[in-house]
Amino acid sequence: MRGSTSSPKVMARVVTALLMTAGLLTGVSASITESSRERLDYVALGDSYSAGVGAGQATTGCGLSPLGFPAWLDRNQKIELAANPSCGGATTVDLFPGYELPAQVLALGLDTDLVTVVIGGNDIGFANIVAGCSGGTAGSSQCAAAVKEANRRVTMELPAELATAFGAIRTAAPDAHVVVMGYPHLLSPQFGQSDSAAEGAAALNKGVARLNTALESAAESAGFQYIDVTKEFRNHGVGSPRPWIHPNGSGIFHPTAEGYQKGYLKAFKTEVQLNKLQMAAADG
């Protein structure tokens, strides 16, 4: 636990300080200090987008994949993935004990340094949108109704649900840097769809934009960092020549392995300053 004199992080700092005082680190102190930093204790939370559904090679019923972005982050020498209880179908309440899926907040602790969260899509009825807007029916009345209901939930229900969930994360991991990841636009209507399909696709993408706005606002209120991934996925939605979103199948409307790596992972690496987080964790 952070603050204990027997903590490996504290002991590493003490040993380094003693060596520097004795003059044994002359000329190489910077490299030794860098190498002595522990990897950030990282926990990934959320729904199927955090689990890596759509990337392939799922290892659990929750859809956890070694090709999802949390697994890619674990390959970074500065990060150690301590837990990923993310699960396909999870909503904000599934972060807590007492519900059908595993209680995700139980994976957090006082030593958690870094948390990523992708949540909210299922709270607004994402499955209904998939059912109503897939298979070339993005311009259908069923799709429009699903998007309308999702917009209502984003406005009327989701802010309070996110505030409760984010508050629980902060309580469980008070020293962690928490990163809330948004959702990509799912469709790319600019690549020659029919007028009705393009109109439906634009409405669906606007719904995702409203969801992302709610996530950004809730993250800011909680003191968390928000990362928008829509720029990385631009021109790679369903309907594009090189889609990073599955148009059908079991991973429908989820990123491909390439989408998780070149979309989510790239956005994280661009926005999160891991060196500063390591220094803050060592000083904590």
Q: Which of 177, 185, 236, 254 is catalytic?
A: 254
| Active-site residue, 48 included | yes
Q: Is residue 282 part of a domain?
A: no
- Please state the length of the chain: 284
Does 92 lie in the same domain as 5? no
State whether the Cα torsion 210-214-220-225 is positive or negative.
Answer: negative
Half-sphere exposure of 38 (CA within 13 A, CB side): 22
Does 62 lie in the same domain as 26? no
pTM: 0.84
CB burial readout 38-51, b (16+ within 10 A) else e: bbbbbbbbbbbbbb
Does 57 lie in the same domain as 24? no
pLDDT tens profile 235-273 = 999 889 999 999 888 898 999 999 999 999 999 999 999
Helix-, strand-, coil-residue percentages of the chain, each rounded to 5: 50, 10, 40
Do 121 and 162 touch, CB atoms closer than 8 A? Answer: no
Does 81 lie in the same domain as 143? yes
Q: Which of 6, 7, 48, 196 is catalytic?
A: 48
CATH code at 122? Answer: 3.40.50.1110
Does 5 lie in the same domain as 61? no
| Residues spanned by the domain of 17 | 1-36
Segment (H or E) for 159: helix 158-172
Q: Is residue 284 part of a domain?
A: no
Does 43 lie in the same domain as 183? yes
Q: How far is CA 145 from CA 102, 103, 132, 133, 158, in A?
A: 31, 32, 8, 10, 18
Q: Is residue 283 part of a domain?
A: no
- Alpha-carbon distance of 175 to 177, in angstroms, equals 7
Does 187 lie in the same domain as 76? yes
pLDDT tens profile 63-113 = 999 999 999 999 999 999 999 999 999 999 999 987 777 789 999 999 999
Q: Which amino acid type is present at position 217? A: S
Q: How many domains does the chain have?
A: 2
| Active-site residue, 254 included | yes
pLDDT tens profile 13-44 = 433 333 333 443 344 444 434 444 689 999 99
User: Does 48 have pLDDT greater than 90?
Assistant: yes
User: Does 210 have pLDDT greater than 50?
Assistant: yes
